[in-house]
A and B are shown apart, each in its own frame.
Chain A
Amino acid sequence: MGEVTSEPVEMYLETVYRLKDARGSARTSTIAASLGVSLGAVTNTLASLESRGLVRRKAYRGVELTRRGEAVALRAIRKHRLAERLLTEVLGMKWSEVHEVACRLEHAINDDVTEALERLLNNPKTCPHGNPIPNSTGKVRQTNTESLNELSPSQKGILVSIGDEKSDLLRYLASLGLVPGVSVRLEEKAPFNGPIIVNVRGSRYALGQQVATRIRVRRT
């Protein structure tokens, strides 16, 4: 079932998927930063992944996954997110500590164990951070959410999740009133991927692209 891949390959494809999901594009420099490896190493690995038909590199647009690449990535993400659930719910680990452990655990779980795990955990829909878990056929449950910067000026939405695992940022946003469930209205949007201004309960905040793309909303 599926392609036979090694641990580093899975990590690369997973990273590309996450970056594209969270920010709309995966660039060599951001891949290097999030994996903590050198730019040269990333370039080399991407070249070999491209020759295996798992990714496509496009000038100025970063890296994209091919259909086969995406399938591998989703399989790894499914294991990762189920592993996170296992760690918090069964082993009682802290929510903010499970990401790193799950990174190692996911590569040790084979497909049979994955299915058993899913049944044990009662078919969870999301990981402890609120991100969806892909199903066994590699489909991501379609959530009708979009990132905050995709709204047009004067459109409103309900904040669904903040796709960032850095908890300092999450906590700071929470103290500004940006918590899941709150209603937000986009007021201004600067051109050329500039910042946006959102209105949250009467307060206006300017948010840069790095922040706005990580906030998922459901349009109302």
Chain B
Amino acid sequence: MSCHESVTSISGQTDFQIALAGNPNVGKSVIFNRLTGLSAVTANYPGKTVELNVGVAKVRNRRLAIVDLPGSYGLDPVSEDQHVAKEALLFDDFLAVAVVVDATNLERNLYQALQLIDLGLPVVIALNLVDCAARKGIAVDADQLARILGVPVIPTVAITGQGLKQLMDCIFATATASRTPSQRKRQYEYSYSGMIEGFRETLQSFGKLTNTGRLPHDFHSRLIEGDAELENALQSTSEGRRAVELARTLRVAIEIKEGQPAHLVFARERQRVAHEITEKVARPIKLREEAALLGRHYAVWPPTAIPLMLGVIIGTFAFMFFVGGFLSDLIGGVWGSFVSPILQLTAYSIFPNKILARMFLWGVDAGILAALSVGVPFVLTFYLVLAILEDTGYLGNIAYVTDSLMRKLGLHGRSIIPLIMGLGCNVPAIMATRVLTTRRERLLASTLITLTPCSARIAVVLGAVAFLVGWQYAVIVFLIDLAVIGFIGKALNLILPGESSGLIMEMFPFRIPSFRPILKKTWFRFKAFVFVALPFVTIGSAFLGGLYELGSFTAQAQVSGPAMYAVLGLPPVAGVALLLGILRKELTLQLLVALAVMQYGVSAHSLTVFMSPIQLFVFAVVVTLYFPCVATMSVLARELGWRSSGAIMVGTVAIAVVIGTIAFHVFGLLQLLQV
């Protein structure tokens, strides 16, 4: 895909490659956006499905590739995105690593900075959020911090752009300097316990290791601490293997003396140093105002938190419904009166063959219109609201409140966020499961996402049931879906071996969000919809059009028809509509009408003519549950492999048939919705 270049190919066109690292939620993305402007693209990291943002910045006529690494707390990852950050830091040749540090939470942030400095990486520290810190009565002495750490420290306020020019100059200077390695020793004023320092020197002096350039030049303490990936990388040479052996011996010595695993000893030492440095350079934190403290309590205290959460969810959908509906009408109107006529004129004048012309129109006219009138208005507004909720710090509260519920499904609170995203479009939602820890959790969450009604399926339920049968029946469709999600989650949790890794999540303080990062975030998620789902929609639409124009539907309807009627009570044409619906779910209704007209003649011009309310209901239930769509399947296969993807697809079809059949017979027995 054209939007997915690899990191190396982008860097190849530039003079320098530098990385941006930091804890989550410290303003790293804002700095990245400010430095790279509109040049940023997402790129796939070699061999990984995690996308990284890569942008180009120009300094003094040189082009710098800036890689925005996923936010992480250190070099000990628990999820795939954090893994990518770690591997890039260990094995990529960055000429500078800018570590974004939150001045309001210096101690915790310094931990990661120390880990990277200890690796000998060319670190530059962006001391961000100094304005927030000042408001809380914390003044951080950047010069003193720089002296203690022995690396440059630039105070910044990313939102306003303050300090970013100096940061850029400093990154440039550091990158230039690390191209010509000097023998001058770094001066710094902190130290770990004698044992750690001593062992590191022992390992360093043990012999020269041929540094392939793929390793940071001071990996010795990390090797003693223990790092499987680093050990693997060193296995290729005999010196490397000997260094690994020696490091293991030193590690055991530390463990015996301290009676604790070595990585804990290192972690404690780093925490101690981070604490001492913070004491020296920052004035102690004043407690935040009572109001904010109370606010954060009521956001998670069930009697207030649950109504608040429901209110936020209902508000989100109301916003989507009104703003999205308005946009949808607007786009549909403009398209119908201006674009469509032009496209039709062009099509008939380009293609001599009428069938070809109509196929082209199916794809380009109807296909893009459907995408614009369903995708853009609803998916875009939804992701906009989601980004706002995320940047205010509220989303974490939903994760906290729903944790107990999600545990019953073998997941934990954090997985609610991808699931909510699935209401827009399943494709970016499945990509968002990368923040989860285990493959089991990703598999569970992805399966549940495919059962979550995306905007296309919501449109079908509204069109077929809410408008034609009654809104209360549309509510029943959604309740059935919710019950299925609950049941499948519970069942999979019992069947799949293992258990949930448990919730570990930082609760971010509430913040007033700023405009640009929200737009950027919305766009990055929406992009997955545009570039993954849209091509499928357009091509699928043209393909459907071709079949339709060639009249191959009738034959299929005759084959699948009787079975369709016997099991689900649906008219024969519904089978074909469902089959083709895997390409375009929101089109299933229009398809149904078009097919009916072909088979029964023009009298079947509306759904209500040839389908009873109960058939419409069952149809909507089946559309909601079965096979999400081809775009979702391809993204599932990319993330989890074809086997899991195939199993999920077959499973959803089976569930749809079973639930559809039950709905049909139960409604028949209860004599509900009979005309």
Contacts and interface: CB of A to CB of B under 8 A. Distances in A.
Interface in B212-255: 226, 248-249, 251-252, 255
Given A88-B256, A174-B263, A181-B268, A210 B77 contact: no
Interface in B251-269: 251-252, 255-256, 259-264, 267-268
A159 to B, nearest CB: 11
Interface in A191-220: 191-195, 197, 200-211
Nearest to B253: A92
Given A95-B261, A174-B264, A175-B267, A201 B108 contact: yes
A67 to B, nearest CB: 30
B76 A188 contact: no
Contact of B506 (A89, A93, A176): A176
Interface in B93-137: 105, 107-108, 111-112, 115
Contacts of B499: 30, 33, 210
Contact of B262 (A29, A95, A173, A197): A95
A100 interface: no
B579 to A, nearest CB: 39
Contacts of A170: 261, 263-264
B497 interface: yes
B501 interface: yes
Interface residues on A, range: 35 or more
A202 B404 contact: no
Given A172-B73, A172-B504, A180-B268, A202 B78 contact: no
A126 interface: yes
Given A169-B78, A172-B73, A206 B396 contact: yes
Contacts of A88: 252, 255-256
Nearest to A91: B252
A195 B506 contact: no
B300 A197 contact: yes
Given A95-B261, A128-B259, A174-B263, A193 B404 contact: yes
B502 A182 contact: no
A209 B107 CA distance: 26
B263 A205 contact: no
A96 interface: yes
Given A130-B260, A208-B500, A95 B255 contact: yes
A95 B254 CA distance: 11
A210 B108 contact: no
B297 interface: yes
A200 B501 CA distance: 21
Contacts of A33: 497-499
Binding site secondary structure of chain A: mixed
A94 B506 contact: no
A68 interface: no
Interface string B474-503: 000000000000000000001001111111
A190 interface: yes
Given A190-B302, A208-B504, A195 B413 contact: yes
In this complex, the member of B261, B275, B404, B494 whose beta carbon has the largest number of chain A beta carbons within 10 angstroms is B261
A177 interface: yes
A73 B623 CA distance: 54
A204 B506 contact: yes
B617 interface: no
In this complex, the member of A168, A181, A188 whose beta carbon has the largest number of chain B beta carbons within 10 angstroms is A188
A162 B454 CA distance: 41
Given A94-B248, A95-B262, A168-B78, A209 B507 contact: no
A137 interface: no
Nearest to B403: A195
Nearest to A176: B73
Contacts of B399: 206
Given A190-B403, A191-B302, A210-B502, A179 B252 contact: no
B512 interface: no
Contact of B505 (A95, A179, A206): A206
Contacts of B112: 175
A139 interface: no
A167 interface: yes
A203 B504 CA distance: 13
A171 interface: yes
A200 B264 CA distance: 17
A203 B111 CA distance: 13
B377 interface: no
Nearest to B507: A204
Nearest to A166: B501
A202 B256 CA distance: 32
Given A174-B271, A175-B75, 18 more contacts: A93-B252, A94-B252, A130-B260, A169-B78, A172-B76, A174-B74, A175-B111, A175-B112, A176-B504, A179-B271, A188-B400, A192-B404, A201-B107, A202-B107, A202-B108, A206-B504, A207-B503, A211-B504
Closest 10 CB pairs of A and B: A210-B502, A175-B74, A208-B503, A174-B267, A171-B76, A208-B502, A211-B502, A204-B507, A194-B404, A175-B73
29 contacts: A33-B499, A92-B252, A93-B252, A94-B248, A94-B255, A128-B261, A167-B261, A171-B76, A171-B263, A174-B267, A175-B73, A179-B271, A188-B301, A188-B400, A190-B401, A194-B404, A195-B413, A197-B300, A202-B107, A204-B509, A205-B507, A206-B504, A206-B507, A208-B412, A208-B413, A208-B503, A208-B504, A210-B407, A211-B504
Interface of B: 73-78, 105, 107-108, 111-112, 115, 226, 248-249, 251-252, 255-256, 259-264, 267-268, 271, 275, 285, 297, 300-302, 396, 399-401, 403-404, 407, 412-413, 494, 497-507, 509
Interface of A: 29-30, 33, 88-89, 92-96, 126, 128-130, 167-177, 179-182, 187-188, 190-195, 197, 200-211
